[in-house]
Amino acid sequence: MVAITNMQKLGAAATLTLLTCSQGLLMEASKEGGHYPYNVATVPLMSELMKFFLSAILLYKAHNRDPKGTQMTTDWKSVLLFPIPSVIYLFHNNVQFYTMAYVDAATYQILGNLKIVTTGALFYIALKRHLSRIQWLALVLLMAGATTSQISSNGGGTLQAPIQGYMLGIVSACLSATAGVYTEFLMKKNNDNLYFQNLQLYGFGTIFNAIRLTVDDYNSSYENGFWLSTGLRGWNTITWLIAINFAFSGLFVSWIMKFADTIVKVYATSSAMLLTALLSVWFFDLEPTLQLFLGILIACISINLYFMPNDSPPPPPAPVVTKDEEEVDRAR
Amino acid sequence: MVAITNMQKLGAAATLTLLTCSQGLLMEASKEGGHYPYNVATVPLMSELMKFFLSAILLYKAHNRDPKGTQMTTDWKSVLLFPIPSVIYLFHNNVQFYTMAYVDAATYQILGNLKIVTTGALFYIALKRHLSRIQWLALVLLMAGATTSQISSNGGGTLQAPIQGYMLGIVSACLSATAGVYTEFLMKKNNDNLYFQNLQLYGFGTIFNAIRLTVDDYNSSYENGFWLSTGLRGWNTITWLIAINFAFSGLFVSWIMKFADTIVKVYATSSAMLLTALLSVWFFDLEPTLQLFLGILIACISINLYFMPNDSPPPPPAPVVTKDEEEVDRAR
């Protein structure tokens, strides 16, 4: 396993931040007359397909170059672990749907920040990964900063949703954390080649997305035809850019899960939200709010604290004395 | 000089927080029909007098107990440093007055938080005191947290004051920092007895407050009579409690400046603001806002970071080898 430093993690987070941020801006730019001219659900399917074929090509090349070094576990017990993230996201989407029935959009967005802390907790509990006290405080800060930036200026800011809304928000945050932490477990559980793991992940992802489109079409009584024939209707250049962006973001997330960790992804997602809000002020000529600047300031401090070089590293392991060394010692 | 730990500093800050917080609530409770039934400017004079006499008694006792250990520098060059804080506060009050001409009350309150960071900067520059990177981040966080709690829920949150307002806000923050850091310098510059230093501080304080009342009376053409004869008009039990509270807070601040530092006072003041806001929600049955909770959460993290036991203490001084030890060494 490649060891990576805090600075490299930070670089990975920054790249994912830029990809995610341009996603948001591209989505906004692809609208025509205020709504999307294409079926939004076909974009993830297309990007899953792109990732699947890209991973297949990369795996083929890696295997040709170094057949023995390209580890692949084809045991069914291992393969069947890969559809589970898709299943968790399915649950998650349903819980989100029910949550929206109890809380308004602004509160819903704010509740979403809970996933920062639930991910940290599950990262610690399920993956048994160490977080220093400063890193815990940094995670709580990131949540506080993200929330601060989202306080609405017009009359919002009081907590008035029914208790069910908050409970479902917490359930949603736990499911989101489970998906993230489980994916990290999946990518790191053995030294299988990253592209082989991707192949399984995106193969199942493609299947789940295809099922979803079919169910949607069935539920709408084929009002817009069947997705296989009408799926690309209304796609423009920007839509293709979005699909490509989604594909590269996804591949980058896989890389982060295997070589860095879930928390790096959490930082990237939150930073992207703040950067998108800041760029929106610029692009769409909005009035910048004090809470946005405060949120960004607090998030920057959180990043600084979380990725700070550790002052007190764990004690080095006791030196392993080999037989040869013992003999040298005796000879002295 | 007594060495004091971070935990003791925290205890001192907590006590000053409670005193300052009850001040705010007592001030509110002393109102009759929405305004103060007494001349507000007479309260600081009374509390300066109380502190002066209390310090005189304590100094007399300390001197009787241990005449040699009670150090007092009666040189005029030293004594004349003590009216300077009063002069700085005089400037500060005037700048505050002009600032209010450019910014509204909410922005004014928010600009006041700048003093947290200016105090840190002056503490570092003028007093040459070390602050770790985490402590710097903690100070910026405290400012961000205090500001977050003050974002107004109804339409506030945009930055729209004229530039003069912000400039004066910065000048005000620098003057406030200067007063704090200068007082710390004054209390720590020698090992003079604390009560003797207080005697000088509050002696000049009494004189400045008396001059202020006289000037006020002159400017209002003695509309309400002369303060020496009408000063206690309208005072009730709560007014006396406020004066006593002011006096004890002041004595406590002197103690903090001598044995802890200005930053401890900054934490106490900001925490008191947040605690007062929280208790006001309780006492005056207001709707609690999300920004208040976020502000309190961020301030708590800041306190945690600032007063965190230092992981990497400065290297211990090289052991001083005395002659005796050298002889012992040689004998070995």
The residue segments making up the domain with residue A177 are 6-310
Burial readout A37-66 (b: 16 or more C-beta within 10 A, e: otherwise): ebbeebbbbbbbbbbbebbbebbeebbeee
Pick the residue of B132, B142, B158, B308 with the most A CBs within 10 A to test the interface with A by mutation.
B158
From A133, A134, A294, residue closest to B147, measured CB to CB: A294
Instruction: Flag if A290 and B134 touch (Cβ within 8 Å).
Output: no
Instruction: Flag if A305 and B137 touch (Cβ within 8 Å).
Output: yes
Instruction: Flag if B308 and A155 touch (Cβ within 8 Å).
Output: no
What is the percent of chain B with per-residue pLDDT over 90, rounded to a whole number? 51
Q: Show residues of chain B in contact with A312, CB under 8 Å.
A: 311-312
What residues pair up with A158 in beta bridges, in sequence order? B289
Residue B97: predicted pLDDT: 80
Residue A115: predicted pLDDT: 94
The rounded distance, in Å, linking the Cα atoms of B239 and A120 is 50
Calculate how close chain A gets to B27, using CA atoms only, in Å. 27
Closest C-alpha among B244, B248, B292, B230 to residue B26:
B244
Calculate how close chain B gets to A308, using CA atoms only, in Å. 9
The answer to whether A225 faces chain B, any CB pair under 8 Å, is no
Calculate how close chain B gets to A291, using CA atoms only, in Å. 6
What residues pair up with A35 in beta bridges, in sequence order? A32
Residue B158: predicted pLDDT: 57
The answer to whether A221 faces chain B, any CB pair under 8 Å, is no
Instruction: Flag if A140 and B301 touch (Cβ within 8 Å).
Output: yes
Ranges of residues in chain A whose predicted pLDDT is under 70: 1-3, 153-159, 310-332
With a cut of 90, say whether residue B37 has pLDDT above it. Answer: no
Assigned token pair, B23: 């001040």
Is B227 a domain residue? yes
Instruction: Flag if A290 and B147 touch (Cβ within 8 Å).
Output: yes
pLDDT in tens, B236-273: 899 999 999 999 999 999 999 999 999 999 999 999 99
Residue A323: predicted pLDDT: 46
Instruction: Flag if A137 and B304 touch (Cβ within 8 Å).
Output: yes
The torsion defined by the Cα of B141, B144, B147 and B149, in degrees rounded to 10, comes to: -70
With a cut of 50, say whether residue B315 has pLDDT above it. Answer: no
Please give the residue of chain A at the shortest CA–CA distance from B154.
A155
> Among A189-193, A252-256, B25-29, B327-331, whose mean pLDDT is lowest?
B327-331
Calculate how close chain A gets to B295, using CA atoms only, in Å. 9
Is B332 a domain residue? no
The rounded distance, in Å, linking the Cα atoms of A40 and A216 is 12
A332 Cβ contact partners less than 8 Å away, ≥ 6 residues apart: none
Instruction: Flag if A156 and B153 touch (Cβ within 8 Å).
Output: yes
Instruction: Flag if B291 and A134 touch (Cβ within 8 Å).
Output: no
Number of residues in chain B: 332
Instruction: Flag if A288 and B157 touch (Cβ within 8 Å).
Output: no
Closest C-alpha among A82, A263, A90, A71 to residue A186:
A82
Rg of chain A over Cα atoms, rounded to whole angstroms, equals 23
The total number of structural domains that make up chain B: 1
The answer to whether A154 faces chain B, any CB pair under 8 Å, is yes
Instruction: Flag if A144 and B308 touch (Cβ within 8 Å).
Output: no
Higher pLDDT, B143 or B322: B143
pLDDT in tens, B294-308: 999 999 999 999 998
Residue B88 CA, chain-centre distance (Å), reads 13
Is A318 a domain residue? no
Higher pLDDT, B321 or A290: A290
The rounded distance, in Å, linking the Cα atoms of B110 and B201 is 30
For chain B, the average pLDDT equals 86
Instruction: Flag if B290 and A137 touch (Cβ within 8 Å).
Output: no
The answer to whether B328 faces chain A, any CB pair under 8 Å, is no
Calculate how close chain B gets to A56, using CA atoms only, in Å. 46
Is B188 a domain residue? yes
CB B312 within 8 A of CB B133: no
Residue B3: predicted pLDDT: 67
CB B268 within 8 A of CB B146: no
Residue A100: predicted pLDDT: 82
C-alpha dihedral sign at B191, B260, B184, B89? negative
The answer to whether A113 faces chain B, any CB pair under 8 Å, is no
Please give the residue of chain A at the shortest CA–CA distance from B289.
A158
Mean pLDDT of B220-232: 80
Q: Show residues of chain B in contact with A304, CB under 8 Å.
A: 137
CB B153 within 8 A of CB B99: no
Residue B29: predicted pLDDT: 84
Q: Show residues of chain B in contact with A140, CB under 8 Å.
A: 297, 301
Sequence letter at residue A135: Q
The rounded distance, in Å, linking the Cα atoms of B41 and B210 is 10
pTM here? Answer: 0.85
Instruction: Flag if B287 and A312 touch (Cβ within 8 Å).
Output: no
Task: Indicate the SS3 state at residue B313.
Answer: coil
* Longest CA pairwise span in chain A (Å): 88
B307 Cβ contact partners less than 8 Å away, ≥ 6 residues apart: B6, B7, B9, B10
Mean pLDDT of B165-169: 91
Higher pLDDT, A186 or B30: A186
Assigned token pair, B92: 């500060």
Is B229 a domain residue? yes
Q: What is the DSSP string of B73-134?
A: ---HHHHTTTTHHHHHHHHHHHHHHHHTTTS-HHHHHHHTTHHHHHHHHHHHHTS-----HH
The answer to whether B81 faces chain A, any CB pair under 8 Å, is no
From A141, A157, A311, residue closest to B298, measured CB to CB: A141
User: Please, is A313 exposed, middle or buried when counting C-beta atoms within 10 Å of its C-beta (0-12, 13-18, 19+)?
Assistant: exposed
Is B256 a domain residue? yes
Is A323 a domain residue? no
Instruction: Flag if B305 and A134 touch (Cβ within 8 Å).
Output: yes
Sequence letter at residue A67: P
Residue A322: predicted pLDDT: 45
Instruction: Flag if A154 and B159 touch (Cβ within 8 Å).
Output: no
The answer to whether A14 faces chain B, any CB pair under 8 Å, is no
Note which residues in 280-299 of chain B have CB less than 8 A from chain A.
Answer: 287-291, 294, 297-298
From A134, A287, A308, residue closest to B158, measured CB to CB: A287
pLDDT in tens, A242-283: 999 999 999 999 999 999 999 999 999 999 999 999 998 888
The answer to whether A69 faces chain B, any CB pair under 8 Å, is no
The answer to whether B29 faces chain A, any CB pair under 8 Å, is no
**What ipTM did this prediction achieve?**
0.84
Mean pLDDT of B18-24: 89
CB pairs under 8 A between A and B: 91
Is A321 a domain residue? no
